Amino acid sequence: MQSELLIGLAGVIASASPIVIAAIGETLTEKSGMLNLSVNGIILLSAMSGFIAAYDTGNLIAGYLAGMLTGALIGWVLAFCTITLNQSQVAVGLVLAFLCRDLSYFLGNDFMGFNAPVLHSTPLPFLSEIPILGSLFFDQTPMVYLSLLSIPVSLVWINRTKFGLILRSVGERPEAAFARGINVNKVRYLYTILGSALVGLAGPIYSLGLKPGWKGSMTGLDGIGWIVLAITIFGGWNPFRVALGAYLFELLRWLGLVYQIKLTGVPSQVLQVAPFPLMILTLMFVNMKNAEWFESFISLLPPPIYRFFSLKGKRRKAAPSSLGIPFRNV
Amino acid sequence: MEIEIRNIYKSFGKVHANIGISLTIHAGEILGVLGENGAGKTTLMKILAGLQPCDSGEILIDGKPVHFHSANTALDLGIGMLSQDPLDFPMLTIFDNLYLGRRKRFFIQRNRFSKQVEKMEDLLGFQFKLNDLVETLSIGERQQLEILRLLVYGSELIILDEPTTGISAQQKKQLFELLKRLAGFGKTIIFVTHKLGEINELCQRTIILRQGKLISDVVLPCESSLLIQSMFGKAIDLQSPGDASQFEKHFEIQHLVIKDARFFSNPVDLNIRKGEILGLAGMEGSGQKTFLRTLAGLEKPINGMFLDEGYSLHWNSPHSFTKRGIYFMPASRMEEGLIQGMTLQEHFILSQTKDDFFVDRDESHKITEMRIREFTIRGFSSSTAEELSGGNQQRLLIAMLHENARLLLLENPTRGLDIESTNWMWKKLHERCKKGASILFASADIDELLRFSNRILVFFGGRISEPYPSQMLNSEKLGALIGGEGW
């Protein structure tokens, strides 16, 4: 029983890895003030292209690189259309989301059902022998290690480096960043491409590992990208919270699967869909401290208690102020 | 460093902002740039700071021509500018705000940089908590922060665009001492303002701009009347103060307790009479803003009643406040007052309370043109709000206040306006008072408060005083009250 639970939880960490990487990529993009809505399309297209590249070359690394390249390319298209050509981020992003999805089905049609190499887990020496933690975190595939590593790295990058500071400034108040001599649109280009490349890495993580192979619209990846977008928002653009959201989502999905067997009276669809509303409810609860009504409710309490709860001044995880707003220097 | 500007031209569409301006600025000099609203002061400074390219002309530093590809080039060359509305990052911490733009190492050098900042802070007499968000500072404090930042960068030329508009008299005194000290170190200061007193107090030399042209270059001190004449092209007299008298009761505030970010106030009881002007004095961020916003229905008080001729206004429906003729004009023009990207005409359409389904373009165009003329706004009905200069944005805000207003709540209404505009604006406001409107206004300018208000409420650290009749006060007494003495 103990080990069954452990295997299940290790599976949750593994299956959340592409969502973690994609959501951190999207967080980086959105921190710069760019809204990339094409995540869902990028994941599908890169899953397809990564699969084909790995199939053709027989090399996994080529597959991952192809996925990232696909993502970067779509990111560049988005940046070019919105920054250089001044088009709407929302419109271009949505069009790309659907275009890339259908393109992946179309281009991948001839490769359906083929076998490409699959990434296997490589236990880390010594670390994997630690009880419980070892089998949870250190007996996984390299991509899972990468997803775990991406959390602290992105946190440090955003909060402790000058580049992270520049990134935040551009997303908060581009005109002020410009006045400090920062090339706002260049920064936005870079992070759109970088973020999309990370999203693009999520695709091959599925097609070369978690859900091996390419089965067109049967692959079951459609929809993941929208969850990534939601997690980015509910995670408050903080890589740590974003990753927590990803793990929570996969945990709920796993519970759904487990209880599907035990609760035979409940239609299986209910348990399959349950993670989505549950996820939203949980995140709403987490974010409640930001709500106006919560603030006014606690203001009724005596001042010392009020001050304890009040988050004002220590303001939380608001969206980058200029998210989705184009910057043009007059 | 010595800076020479040669033949600068700049226009925005039909508006000529700078017409052939040439000028030399010497090291260690405090140069005043004087001009009425929309004279082209800000544009010229933005060009000099590399924030805007000029159409034609040259800038030379120590005799060498320079080209600013971005603000970065200007910063590298030691030119830093403090803009009219502080260009900083409200959602970032003070530390991040100071650090941003100093890019040397990969990791943020937290401790070392903090020490550097603290040293500079000691020199200037500032005290910032580096981990607080900039959002929690007042506009005056944010300006200090910007000066601190430029000095930490090592700027040699510091351009200050109307720095005294949002700060208290004491902060202003500190600022001037600071600037003089900096000039003593050999830094060059350019001080843009429309306030003559400040020019005479601070600068050794001033240039005067009018309608985009450099009208004169004067060595100070100089007679104010002469300066006024070249600023406006005509002489202007200051008007006599309004007198207090017993008017009819209008609005009544009972036991109002307001909640600011930092404090709860003491309960306030106040009668506002018809045609009365009440001034709210105090340092920036002492609660005046919250007080005004509460009376406008925009923020809920902790406790208290607000009666309009016996009718109790309720904070659950902010709309009912405007319905009863209560209007609020915020100080942060672009953030709360005006809508970016919308034209003047659209602003006027929005401010009308007509219930028609369709917008009457011709009619609203007519109204807009009329208001532009009446309020002498430098712009067109098709200009967007952000295209206007700071002073003209202020005029637009006032022009938008509804004709039938019964209570006007104004936050720093003359911030950024020159003498002529200030006088003219108060003339307009007095007209409103004669029609029976009451005015509550917050201001950082002691003279303005004493000159125009019938009674004055003083705000200090969460405390709100009883209303003082303004005849009972003079500038020293009021200054002391603002500083927290004599309560």
pLDDT tens, residue by residue, B24-46: 998 889 999 988 777 888 889 98
Nearest CA in chain A to B73: A181
Residues of chain A with C-beta less than 8 angstroms from the C-beta of B89: 168-169, 172-173, 176-177
Strand partners, B35: B209
Q: How far is A85 from chain B (nearest CA, A)?
A: 19
Cβ distance of A315 and B133 shorter than 8 Å: yes
pLDDT band of A310, cuts 50, 70, 90 = low
pLDDT digits (tens, 9 = 90+) for B426-455: 888 888 888 888 899 998 888 888 888 888
- Asked whether the beta carbons of A14 and A141 are under 8 A apart, the reply is yes
Residue burial B83-117, b: 16+ Cβ < 10 Å; e: rest: bbbbbbbbbbbbbbbbbbbbeeeeebeeeebbeeb
Backbone torsions φ then ψ of A329, nearest 5 degrees: -85, 130
Residue A245, in any domain of the structure? no
Residue A167, in any domain of the structure? yes
Residue A76, in any domain of the structure? yes
The CA–CA distances, whole Å, from B130 to A103, A313, B97, B192 equal 50, 13, 9, 29
Domain that includes residue A13, residue range: 2-240
| pTM score, whole prediction | 0.71
What pLDDT score was predicted for residue A289?
60
pLDDT band of A283, cuts 50, 70, 90 = low
What pLDDT score was predicted for residue B241?
45
pLDDT digits (tens, 9 = 90+) for B416-428: 777 777 888 888 8
| Range scoring the smallest mean pLDDT among A66-80, B147-161, B311-325 | B311-325
Residue A138, in any domain of the structure? yes
Q: Which of residues 444-473 of B touch A (CB under 8 A)?
A: none
A318 vs A121, residue with greater confidence:
A121
**What single-letter amino acid sits at B476?**
E
Is the model's pLDDT at B276 over the cut of 90?
A: no
Q: Which of A28, A35, A29, A20 is nearest to A231 (CA)?
A: A20
> B302 in contact with A at a CB cutoff of 8 Å?
yes
Nearest CA in chain A to B51: A179
> A296 in contact with B at a CB cutoff of 8 Å?
yes
| Range scoring the smallest mean pLDDT among A226-230, A241-245, B395-399 | B395-399
Pairing of strands B326-329, B407-411: parallel
What pLDDT score was predicted for residue B247?
67
* B163 Cβ neighbours under 8 A, 6+ residues apart: B82, B143, B147, B175, B191, B193
Q: How far is A173 from chain B (nearest CA, A)?
A: 6
The CA–CA distances, whole Å, from B486 to A140, A193, B475 equal 72, 62, 13
Residue burial B65-81, b: 16+ Cβ < 10 Å; e: rest: eeebebbbebbebbbbb
Strand partners, B33: B192, B207
Is the model's pLDDT at B165 over the cut of 80?
A: no
Percent of chain A with pLDDT over 90: 51
Backbone torsions φ then ψ of B188, nearest 5 degrees: -100, 135
| Range scoring the smallest mean pLDDT among A1-10, A184-193, B305-314, B354-363 | B354-363
Residue A321, in any domain of the structure? no
- Asked whether the beta carbons of B206 and B433 are under 8 A apart, the reply is no
Of the candidates A172, A312, A313, the beta carbon closest to that of B89 is on: A172
pLDDT band of A51, cuts 50, 70, 90 = very high
How far is the C-alpha of A202 from the C-alpha of A25, rounded, in Å? 10
The CA–CA distances, whole Å, from A229 to A23, A37, A207 equal 7, 7, 20
The CA–CA distances, whole Å, from B386 to B127, B333, B338 equal 33, 10, 8
Specify whether the backbone of B22 is left (phi greater than 0), alpha (psi in -120 to 50) or beta: beta
pLDDT digits (tens, 9 = 90+) for B457-470: 998 877 888 888 88
How far is the C-alpha of A121 from the C-alpha of A157, rounded, in Å? 28
> A307 in contact with B at a CB cutoff of 8 Å?
no
Q: How far is B63 from chain A (nearest CA, A)?
A: 24
Strand partners, A140: none
Q: Residue B82 in 3-state DSSP? A: strand
CB half-sphere exposure, A228, CA atoms < 13 A: 37
Nearest CA in chain A to B81: A179
What pLDDT score was predicted for residue A312?
44
pLDDT band of A93, cuts 50, 70, 90 = very high
What pLDDT score was predicted for residue B77?
86
Query: Which residue in the block uniquely carries the two structure tokens 């960043």?
Result: A177
What pLDDT score was predicted for residue A276?
74
Strand partners, B317: none
How far is the C-alpha of B40 from the C-alpha of B202, rounded, in Å? 21
Residue A281, in any domain of the structure? no
Q: Which of residues 142-161 of A touch B (CB under 8 A)?
A: 160-161
**What single-letter amino acid sits at B363?**
E
pLDDT digits (tens, 9 = 90+) for A137-159: 888 999 999 999 999 999 999 99
Q: Residue B384 in 3-state DSSP? A: strand
The CA–CA distances, whole Å, from B248 to A137, B251, B271, B405, B410 equal 77, 10, 10, 17, 21
The ipTM estimated for the assembled molecules is: 0.77
What is the pLDDT averaged over residues A172-190?
90
> A321 in contact with B at a CB cutoff of 8 Å?
yes
What pLDDT score was predicted for residue A314?
44
Residue A49, in any domain of the structure? yes
Residue burial B331-355, b: 16+ Cβ < 10 Å; e: rest: bebeeebbeeeebbbbbbbebbeee
How far is the C-alpha of B19 from the C-alpha of B35, rounded, in Å? 14
Q: Is B175 exposed, middle or buried (0-12, 13-18, 19+ CB in 10 A)?
A: buried
Specify whether the backbone of A254 is left (phi greater than 0), alpha (psi in -120 to 50) or beta: alpha
Is the model's pLDDT at A313 over the cut of 60?
A: no
How far is the C-alpha of B384 from the C-alpha of B371, rounded, in Å? 15
Is the model's pLDDT at A315 over the cut of 50?
A: no
The CA–CA distances, whole Å, from B457 to A99, B69, B466 equal 63, 49, 6
pLDDT band of A294, cuts 50, 70, 90 = low
CB pairs under 8 A between A and B: 83
Pick the CATH number of B249-482 from 3.40.50.720, 3.40.50.300, 3.90.226.30, 1.10.3370.10: 3.40.50.300
Is the model's pLDDT at A269 over the cut of 60?
A: yes
What pLDDT score was predicted for residue B245?
53
What is the pLDDT averaged over residues B306-311?
84
| Range scoring the smallest mean pLDDT among A165-169, A226-230, B178-182, B471-475 | B471-475
Is the model's pLDDT at B236 over the cut of 70?
A: no
Query: Which residue in the block uniquely carries the two structure tokens 């592409």?
Result: A18
Question: Which of A160, A162, A296 should one mutate to test binding to chain B, selecting the residue with the greatest count of B CBs within 10 A?
Answer: A162
What pLDDT score was predicted for residue B240?
42
Level-2 CATH architecture, domain B3-232 = 3-Layer(aba) Sandwich (3.40)
What pLDDT score was predicted for residue B177?
86
B191 C-beta neighbours (distance < 10 Å), count = 24
Residue A149, in any domain of the structure? yes
> B100 in contact with A at a CB cutoff of 8 Å?
yes
What pLDDT score was predicted for residue A285?
66
Strand partners, B34: B193, B208
Percent of chain A with pLDDT over 70: 89
- Asked whether the beta carbons of B33 and B84 are under 8 A apart, the reply is no
Is the model's pLDDT at B328 over the cut of 70?
A: yes
CA Rg value for chain A: 21
pLDDT digits (tens, 9 = 90+) for B44-80: 998 998 888 889 998 998 888 988 877 778 888 888 8
What's chain B's average pLDDT?
A: 83
Cβ distance of A181 and B83 shorter than 8 Å: no
Domain count, chain A: 1
How far is the C-alpha of A225 from the C-alpha of A231, rounded, in Å? 10
Q: Cα torsion at A129, A130, A133, A136 (round to 10°)?
A: 10
Residue ranges of the domains in chain B?
3-232, 249-482
Residues of chain B with C-beta less than 8 angstroms from the C-beta of A169: 89, 92, 96, 100
Angle, helices A2-31 vs A224-234, to 10°: value is 80
**What single-letter amino acid sits at A5?**
L
pLDDT band of A28, cuts 50, 70, 90 = very high
Q: How far is B363 from chain A (nearest CA, A)?
A: 31
